[in-house]
Amino acid sequence: MDAVGPRIEGQGSLEADWAACTWLEALPVHDAASVLRDVRRLVVVSPHPDDEVLACAGVMQAALAQDIAVHVVSVTDGEACYPDAPLWPAARLRDARRHELATAMRLLGLDATHVTPLGLPDGSVATHEAELAAQLAAQALPGDLLVAPWVGDAHPDHDAAGRAAQAAARGRGIRSLQYPVWAWHWLDPRAATGPWPGAMRIPMSRAAQARKHDAMQAFATQTGAVEGLDCEPILPAHVTARFRRAFEVLIG
Protein backbone atom coordinates (compact mmCIF):
# COMPACT_ATOMS: atom_id res chain seq x y z
CA MET A 1 0.00 0.00 0.00
CA ASP A 2 1.03 3.60 -0.23
CA ALA A 3 -0.13 7.20 -0.34
CA VAL A 4 -3.91 7.10 -0.70
CA GLY A 5 -6.74 8.95 -2.39
CA PRO A 6 -9.91 10.64 -1.20
CA ARG A 7 -11.93 7.44 -0.72
CA ILE A 8 -9.32 6.12 1.69
CA GLU A 9 -9.59 8.30 4.74
CA GLY A 10 -9.88 7.73 8.47
CA GLN A 11 -9.99 4.34 10.15
CA GLY A 12 -12.14 2.69 7.50
CA SER A 13 -14.15 -0.51 7.87
CA LEU A 14 -13.02 -2.56 10.83
CA GLU A 15 -12.13 -6.24 10.54
CA ALA A 16 -14.73 -7.06 13.19
CA ASP A 17 -17.38 -5.79 10.79
CA TRP A 18 -15.90 -7.75 7.90
CA ALA A 19 -16.03 -10.88 10.05
CA ALA A 20 -19.81 -10.41 10.21
CA CYS A 21 -20.22 -9.50 6.52
CA THR A 22 -22.83 -11.73 4.92
CA TRP A 23 -21.77 -11.17 1.31
CA LEU A 24 -18.12 -11.87 2.11
CA GLU A 25 -19.11 -15.04 3.93
CA ALA A 26 -21.22 -16.08 0.94
CA LEU A 27 -18.38 -15.90 -1.59
CA PRO A 28 -17.69 -19.35 -3.05
CA VAL A 29 -14.69 -21.15 -1.60
CA HIS A 30 -12.10 -22.45 -4.06
CA ASP A 31 -8.99 -24.29 -2.97
CA ALA A 32 -5.73 -22.95 -4.34
CA ALA A 33 -5.10 -26.11 -6.34
CA SER A 34 -8.22 -25.53 -8.43
CA VAL A 35 -7.40 -21.84 -8.95
CA LEU A 36 -3.89 -22.77 -10.09
CA ARG A 37 -4.87 -25.72 -12.26
CA ASP A 38 -2.94 -25.74 -15.56
CA VAL A 39 -0.92 -22.67 -14.48
CA ARG A 40 2.78 -22.80 -15.36
CA ARG A 41 3.73 -19.53 -13.69
CA LEU A 42 2.00 -17.23 -11.21
CA VAL A 43 2.83 -13.57 -11.89
CA VAL A 44 1.79 -11.13 -9.15
CA VAL A 45 1.72 -7.45 -10.12
CA SER A 46 2.35 -5.31 -7.04
CA PRO A 47 2.01 -1.49 -7.17
CA HIS A 48 4.07 -1.04 -3.98
CA PRO A 49 6.25 -3.37 -1.91
CA ASP A 50 3.84 -5.08 0.53
CA ASP A 51 0.74 -5.30 -1.71
CA GLU A 52 1.84 -8.70 -3.03
CA VAL A 53 2.17 -10.08 0.51
CA LEU A 54 -1.00 -8.52 1.91
CA ALA A 55 -3.17 -9.82 -0.91
CA CYS A 56 -1.46 -12.92 -2.29
CA ALA A 57 1.04 -14.46 0.14
CA GLY A 58 -1.15 -17.51 0.60
CA VAL A 59 -1.68 -18.05 -3.11
CA MET A 60 2.06 -17.62 -3.77
CA GLN A 61 2.86 -20.24 -1.13
CA ALA A 62 0.31 -22.61 -2.63
CA ALA A 63 1.88 -22.18 -6.05
CA LEU A 64 5.34 -22.98 -4.70
CA ALA A 65 3.96 -26.08 -2.98
CA GLN A 66 2.65 -27.25 -6.37
CA ASP A 67 6.00 -26.59 -8.09
CA ILE A 68 4.51 -23.66 -10.01
CA ALA A 69 6.95 -20.85 -10.73
CA VAL A 70 6.18 -17.60 -8.91
CA HIS A 71 7.22 -14.14 -10.03
CA VAL A 72 6.49 -10.70 -8.54
CA VAL A 73 6.51 -7.57 -10.69
CA SER A 74 7.19 -4.74 -8.23
CA VAL A 75 5.88 -1.70 -10.09
CA THR A 76 7.16 1.09 -7.80
CA ASP A 77 9.46 1.18 -4.79
CA GLY A 78 6.87 2.91 -2.63
CA GLU A 79 9.20 5.84 -2.08
CA ALA A 80 6.46 8.48 -1.77
CA CYS A 81 4.56 7.00 1.16
CA TYR A 82 5.73 9.56 3.76
CA PRO A 83 6.19 12.88 1.94
CA ASP A 84 6.13 14.88 5.19
CA ALA A 85 8.56 12.72 7.20
CA PRO A 86 11.95 14.50 7.04
CA LEU A 87 13.89 11.49 8.35
CA TRP A 88 12.38 9.26 5.66
CA PRO A 89 13.04 10.95 2.30
CA ALA A 90 12.29 9.15 -0.95
CA ALA A 91 15.82 7.82 -1.45
CA ARG A 92 15.92 6.25 2.02
CA LEU A 93 12.45 4.78 1.63
CA ARG A 94 13.31 3.33 -1.77
CA ASP A 95 16.26 1.42 -0.33
CA ALA A 96 14.38 0.38 2.80
CA ARG A 97 11.34 -0.90 0.97
CA ARG A 98 13.37 -2.94 -1.51
CA HIS A 99 15.16 -4.52 1.46
CA GLU A 100 11.83 -5.18 3.20
CA LEU A 101 10.45 -6.83 0.08
CA ALA A 102 13.52 -9.05 -0.22
CA THR A 103 13.11 -10.12 3.42
CA ALA A 104 9.40 -10.82 2.97
CA MET A 105 10.08 -12.90 -0.13
CA ARG A 106 12.63 -15.02 1.75
CA LEU A 107 10.10 -15.65 4.50
CA LEU A 108 7.72 -16.99 1.85
CA GLY A 109 10.36 -19.24 0.28
CA LEU A 110 11.30 -16.91 -2.58
CA ASP A 111 14.34 -14.77 -3.34
CA ALA A 112 15.51 -11.85 -5.47
CA THR A 113 15.38 -13.92 -8.65
CA HIS A 114 11.60 -14.06 -8.24
CA VAL A 115 11.17 -10.25 -8.27
CA THR A 116 11.40 -7.75 -11.13
CA PRO A 117 11.52 -4.15 -9.83
CA LEU A 118 10.35 -1.69 -12.46
CA GLY A 119 11.07 1.51 -10.52
CA LEU A 120 8.11 3.48 -11.87
CA PRO A 121 7.35 6.61 -9.83
CA ASP A 122 5.25 5.99 -6.73
CA GLY A 123 1.96 7.85 -7.02
CA SER A 124 2.20 8.29 -10.80
CA VAL A 125 1.63 4.82 -12.20
CA ALA A 126 -1.36 6.09 -14.19
CA THR A 127 0.89 8.35 -16.26
CA HIS A 128 2.99 5.27 -17.13
CA GLU A 129 0.08 2.87 -17.63
CA ALA A 130 0.76 2.13 -21.30
CA GLU A 131 4.43 1.54 -20.53
CA LEU A 132 3.52 -0.83 -17.71
CA ALA A 133 1.07 -2.75 -19.91
CA ALA A 134 3.77 -3.12 -22.56
CA GLN A 135 6.31 -4.38 -20.03
CA LEU A 136 3.87 -6.91 -18.59
CA ALA A 137 2.95 -8.11 -22.07
CA ALA A 138 6.63 -8.46 -23.01
CA GLN A 139 7.28 -10.61 -19.93
CA ALA A 140 4.16 -12.78 -20.32
CA LEU A 141 4.57 -16.45 -21.16
CA PRO A 142 2.06 -19.10 -22.25
CA GLY A 143 0.50 -20.66 -19.17
CA ASP A 144 0.92 -17.57 -16.99
CA LEU A 145 -1.73 -16.51 -14.51
CA LEU A 146 -1.48 -12.73 -14.07
CA VAL A 147 -2.77 -11.48 -10.71
CA ALA A 148 -3.03 -7.72 -10.16
CA PRO A 149 -4.97 -5.17 -8.11
CA TRP A 150 -8.69 -4.68 -8.56
CA VAL A 151 -9.28 -1.85 -11.02
CA GLY A 152 -11.75 -0.29 -8.56
CA ASP A 153 -9.51 -0.45 -5.50
CA ALA A 154 -9.66 3.38 -5.26
CA HIS A 155 -5.92 3.93 -5.04
CA PRO A 156 -4.73 5.47 -8.33
CA ASP A 157 -1.59 3.32 -8.52
CA HIS A 158 -3.59 0.15 -7.81
CA ASP A 159 -6.28 0.99 -10.34
CA ALA A 160 -3.72 1.80 -13.04
CA ALA A 161 -1.71 -1.37 -12.35
CA GLY A 162 -4.91 -3.41 -12.57
CA ARG A 163 -5.89 -1.86 -15.89
CA ALA A 164 -2.39 -2.38 -17.30
CA ALA A 165 -2.44 -6.03 -16.25
CA GLN A 166 -5.84 -6.57 -17.85
CA ALA A 167 -4.62 -5.03 -21.10
CA ALA A 168 -1.49 -7.18 -21.08
CA ALA A 169 -3.47 -10.34 -20.37
CA ARG A 170 -5.93 -9.64 -23.17
CA GLY A 171 -3.14 -8.85 -25.60
CA ARG A 172 -1.25 -12.05 -24.83
CA GLY A 173 -4.29 -14.29 -24.40
CA ILE A 174 -3.44 -15.31 -20.84
CA ARG A 175 -5.65 -15.65 -17.80
CA SER A 176 -5.86 -12.88 -15.21
CA LEU A 177 -7.39 -12.37 -11.76
CA GLN A 178 -7.57 -9.34 -9.48
CA TYR A 179 -7.09 -8.76 -5.77
CA PRO A 180 -8.52 -6.10 -3.43
CA VAL A 181 -6.34 -4.19 -0.97
CA TRP A 182 -7.72 -0.74 -0.19
CA ALA A 183 -11.24 -1.89 -1.03
CA TRP A 184 -11.40 -3.46 2.43
CA HIS A 185 -10.96 0.05 3.85
CA TRP A 186 -13.86 1.81 2.12
CA LEU A 187 -16.33 -0.88 1.04
CA ASP A 188 -19.36 -1.33 3.33
CA PRO A 189 -19.41 -4.73 5.06
CA ARG A 190 -23.05 -4.12 5.99
CA ALA A 191 -24.17 -3.87 2.36
CA ALA A 192 -26.57 -6.48 1.06
CA THR A 193 -24.32 -7.46 -1.82
CA GLY A 194 -20.67 -7.11 -2.76
CA PRO A 195 -19.17 -5.56 -5.89
CA TRP A 196 -17.48 -8.71 -7.24
CA PRO A 197 -19.79 -11.27 -8.89
CA GLY A 198 -16.78 -13.40 -9.86
CA ALA A 199 -14.93 -13.29 -6.54
CA MET A 200 -13.82 -16.31 -4.54
CA ARG A 201 -12.32 -17.06 -1.14
CA ILE A 202 -9.14 -19.12 -1.10
CA PRO A 203 -8.41 -20.73 2.29
CA MET A 204 -4.92 -20.86 3.80
CA SER A 205 -3.50 -23.45 6.16
CA ARG A 206 -2.35 -22.32 9.61
CA ALA A 207 1.27 -22.69 8.52
CA ALA A 208 0.66 -20.50 5.45
CA GLN A 209 -1.10 -17.91 7.60
CA ALA A 210 1.85 -17.82 9.99
CA ARG A 211 4.36 -17.32 7.17
CA LYS A 212 2.17 -14.58 5.70
CA HIS A 213 1.99 -12.79 9.04
CA ASP A 214 5.78 -12.96 9.41
CA ALA A 215 6.22 -11.59 5.89
CA MET A 216 3.83 -8.73 6.62
CA GLN A 217 5.92 -7.74 9.62
CA ALA A 218 8.98 -7.45 7.39
CA PHE A 219 7.57 -4.13 6.11
CA ALA A 220 8.67 -2.18 9.16
CA THR A 221 8.45 1.21 7.45
CA GLN A 222 4.78 0.52 6.79
CA THR A 223 3.82 -0.87 10.20
CA GLY A 224 5.67 1.97 11.95
CA ALA A 225 8.30 -0.26 13.58
CA VAL A 226 11.14 2.13 12.67
CA GLU A 227 12.67 5.14 14.37
CA GLY A 228 12.01 8.68 13.22
CA LEU A 229 8.56 8.12 11.76
CA ASP A 230 6.61 10.97 13.33
CA CYS A 231 3.29 10.26 11.59
CA GLU A 232 0.65 7.54 11.38
CA PRO A 233 2.07 4.47 9.60
CA ILE A 234 0.44 3.15 6.42
CA LEU A 235 -0.24 -0.24 8.02
CA PRO A 236 -1.40 0.24 11.63
CA ALA A 237 -2.84 -2.78 13.43
CA HIS A 238 -6.45 -2.13 12.39
CA VAL A 239 -5.35 -2.23 8.72
CA THR A 240 -3.15 -5.33 8.94
CA ALA A 241 -6.04 -7.08 10.71
CA ARG A 242 -7.85 -7.21 7.35
CA PHE A 243 -5.04 -9.37 5.98
CA ARG A 244 -4.73 -11.77 8.93
CA ARG A 245 -7.73 -13.77 7.81
CA ALA A 246 -7.68 -17.48 7.14
CA PHE A 247 -8.38 -16.82 3.47
CA GLU A 248 -7.56 -14.49 0.58
CA VAL A 249 -9.95 -13.10 -2.01
CA LEU A 250 -9.38 -13.13 -5.76
CA ILE A 251 -11.74 -11.67 -8.33
CA GLY A 252 -12.36 -13.50 -11.60
Range of the domain at 143: 15-39+49-251
Model pTM above 0.85: yes
Residue 5 included in any domain: no
Residue 186 included in any domain: yes
Mean pLDDT by 10 residues, the chain (252 residues): 62 97 98 97 98 98 98 98 95 98 98 96 98 98 98 97 98 98 97 96 98 98 95 95 98 96
Residue 4 included in any domain: no
For the stretch 70-110, pLDDT in tens is 999 999 999 999 999 999 999 999 999 999 999 999 999 99
pLDDT of amino acid 230: 87
> Who contacts 166 (Cβ-Cβ below 8 Å, separation ≥6)?
148, 151, 176
| CATH number of 138's domain | 3.40.50.10320
Residue 1 included in any domain: no
Neighbouring C-beta atoms of residue 84, cutoff 10 Å: 7
Q: Computed from CA positions of residues 248, 186, 44, 57, in that sequence, does the dihedral angle turn out positive or negative?
A: negative
Residue 127 included in any domain: yes
Q: How many domains does the chain divide into? A: 1
pLDDT of amino acid 2: 57
Separation of alpha carbons 183 and 203, rounded Å: 19
Residue 139 included in any domain: yes
